Amino acid sequence: MLGALLGVVHQTAGDAGVIQVLAKSGERRSAADIQQPDGWSSYQQGLALFRAAADVLGDPDVGRKAGKEVFRRYASTEVLTLLRSIGSPAELLRVYPSISAKQSTITRSEVVEVGETHGLISVVTPDHKRDPLFCGYTLGALSQFPVLFGMQPASVEEIECQARGDPRCLIRLDWDPTSSVGTSSEREVELLREQLLVVTKRFESLESVAKELSSTSDVNSMLETITKRAGVAVRAPRYLLVAQLPGDATPRIHHVGFTQDEAEAAAQEVLRFDLDTIESSRLVVAIESARSHFGRLAAFYPENYHFLPQERSLLMAYAANAAAALETAAALDESRDRNTTLSALLDLGRVLAEESTRGKGAQRLADAIPAIVGCDQAHVMLWDPGDAILQRVASTSRVSLDVAATATTAVRNGNLANQLLELATPTLVTSTSHPVLSPILELTGLGSGVVVPITARNTLFGVLAIGPDGHKLYRNVTLLERLSGVASLAATALGGLALLDEVRHQSLHDPITGLANSRLFENRVSQYLSLGRRSGSRLALLFVDLDRFKFVNDAHGHKVGDELLRVVAERLLATVRNEDTVARIGGDEFGILVQGVASRGDAEVVAGKIVSALGKPFVVRGRTVSVGASVGITLFPDAADTYDSVVSRADSAMYQAKANGRGRFQTYEPPVEFPHNSGQVQQSTIDTGKV
């Protein structure tokens, strides 16, 4: 209707007239979109366009002209070919209620009387006010029925009109079966030309569909295309495709004109529908080839509107083409899936090789597994051989389950490593099937899962666990093969990252005490300098020097000295909080970074504890030794502070503590300016006494 209307506007007023009509009606769609023969509009949209066209052209008869134009403009479409196949104007009128539904599903039509040369049609628009422009369109379209069969147009008369206050529009048609448009030969040529155009259009449409289907990247996209293009065969406001391909757990549903909830309910009905049953407002056909049954394709009219009987065969032919495309697409999808798996494994190997820590590598691994093996959940646990602990460090879930909320995140079990090394292959684990392995499920929240050890050269690096339905996943041989490939890649990557972690740890930690070394300590202090300036928080740096370490080292040897340094480190760690940093920054010198210091007094409390702890005797290799310690304190950051300046202040305060008798702490004080004299460190009034 609207395509024909814009065609009339264009013939009279050109492109400018079409643009003006679109603007005046408030239409946001383009003219090209509106003129698509399988598009639908609301009553309000259509009426606004008809009224705008009448105003722009100054022609109240534009509706009748559009009704005539629709048969000329769409002469080569499937719909008019279908109408022509019905046989005669009289037969067309007998099925007019079904024909009118192809252009309006808010209008009710009824056949009152039909003869060989005349007909009487009743039209009612129940829920809307009938507009004379639409009455004119109906008259114009009905006048062209005889033209479809080579006759002169019918004369039409609106005996009653709903727009004039009558309860219905009653329209009479009269035509002359003996009349003809041009000579018989001319008409025959015209009919052949129109038939050729229909065949050409049908071929171009099928070719277009084939090209579109071949360019889609997956089966779902292809099904979406088939559903949207169902209008090529049958004009209807709603379509539904329900298909299930090999390997699908549930049917795939695609629809046009439904909400999601409506589509799901309609899909259940369509699958149960008896195809031998005829329903006038619903067409349901099977999508099947000689070898496979994929599902069903359905077209829907509102209740009390009817499809033409001939449309079933058209939809069946289209469904058969869809089945052939689906069969090809299913094979292509399987091939793409294999290629995708290989690509995903290669990508995973590259990504894992690029990661710098085991934790990040584990998360990349967890994120990649669902796409590679088609599961909803993936969990990665890493094995700590020193503490015999298996800890979940990474999880990915494509379902609503919050795996991060799982209460247990680590399990300590010395036998676990041996069990996993003996498995070496993907294994189905439930709460009762493997008592030793079932604690792995507690780390994931899975009721059952497929567990895959990550091993290489008889070394356990960790475990993969996927779910949630372990039984279903375990039956998929292809999936298990993919998981084995993933585990091999993971073992190589995690082995390399473990070595890298060890090298990194050695480069940043003291080999004797295991504390942070001077390099790491400088990095931490520099970071907190920046953070402190931005947040305004205060920190303290404590410089600790052992008072009599050289005497112990010289008297008892370096082995005793090294062991003494280790136990000193343990006491320092036990004295401060976990968030504070303890480092060995020299031979017998230690640095401590204390966070959250509100005042000088807070820092001096910590320093007093350190002096007291290190003032107590140590038992080293069967010998009791005493060393004591002097501690220098400085608070930071100040505006011009650097790492060197902060350490220098703490070091200066520490030397002042030693000068004052050792075994005590000293807080750095800014120097007092004296004429002709340099600054000096002032002694704190707080004294812990000698050790």
Same domain, 532 and 422: no
Question: Which of 237, 202, 305, 207 has its CA nearest to residue 38?
Answer: 237
Same domain, 318 and 364: no
According to DSSP, the β-strands at 118-124 and 169-174 are: antiparallel
Angle of CA points 359, 360, 362, to nearest 5°: 65
Residue 23's identity, in one-letter code, is A
Query: Cβ of 106: how many Cβ atoms within 10 Å?
Result: 13
Same domain, 108 and 251: no
Same domain, 618 and 530: yes
Same domain, 465 and 534: no
Q: Which pLDDT does position 689 carry in this prediction?
A: 39
**Domain total in the chain:** 4
Query: Cβ of 252: how many Cβ atoms within 10 Å?
Result: 17
Q: Which pLDDT does position 263 carry in this prediction?
A: 92
Residue 176 in domain? yes
Same domain, 488 and 371: yes
In CATH, what number is assigned to the domain containing residue 89?
Answer: 3.90.1520.10
- Rounded to two decimals, the pTM is 0.41
> Residue 663 to residues 119, 170, 566, 616, 652: CA-CA distances in angstroms?
120, 115, 20, 11, 16
List pLDDT tens digits, range 255-289: 988 999 999 999 999 888 888 777 778 889 998 88
Q: Which pLDDT does position 417 carry in this prediction?
A: 79
What is the C-alpha to C-alpha distance for residues 6 and 21, in angstroms, rounded to an integer? 8
Residue 681 in domain? no
Helix (H) or strand (E) holding 140: helix 132-143
Residue 266 in domain? yes
What is the C-alpha to C-alpha distance for residues 450 and 467, in angstroms, rounded to an integer? 7
Residue 689 in domain? no
Residue 440 in domain? yes
Same domain, 317 and 392: no
In CATH, what number is assigned to the domain containing residue 630?
Answer: 3.30.70.270
DSSP 255-272: EES--HHHHHHHHHHHHH
Same domain, 323 and 373: no
Q: Which pLDDT does position 363 carry in this prediction?
A: 84
Query: Cβ of 128: how many Cβ atoms within 10 Å?
Result: 13
Residue 249 in domain? yes
Residue 377 in domain? yes
Q: Mean pLDDT, consecutive 10-residue segments, the chain of 691 residues?
A: 91 93 92 81 91 94 92 70 77 84 84 92 88 92 87 92 92 88 57 56 55 60 77 77 78 89 91 81 86 87 76 78 74 63 64 66 82 83 82 81 56 78 81 77 83 84 83 72 78 67 75 91 92 88 94 89 94 93 94 92 94 94 92 92 94 94 91 53 42 36
640: domain range?
A: 518-667
Q: Which pLDDT does position 232 carry in this prediction?
A: 61
What is the C-alpha to C-alpha distance for residues 326 and 294, in angstroms, rounded to an integer? 8
Q: Which pLDDT does position 303 carry in this prediction?
A: 77
For the annotated catalytic residues, the residue numbers are 588
What is the C-alpha to C-alpha distance for residues 678 and 278, in angstroms, rounded to an integer? 109
What is the C-alpha to C-alpha distance for residues 70 and 145, in angstroms, rounded to an integer? 11
Same domain, 392 and 540: no
Cα 22 from chain centroid (whole Å) = 37
Residue 288 in domain? yes
Give the residue from 470, 500, 530 where a domain finishes: 500
SS3 633: strand
Q: Which pLDDT does position 468 carry in this prediction?
A: 82
User: Which tokens go with 658?
Assistant: 């030693």
In CATH, what number is assigned to the domain containing residue 384?
Answer: 3.30.450.40
Give the residue from 432, 467, 500 where a domain finishes: 500
Same domain, 373 and 320: no
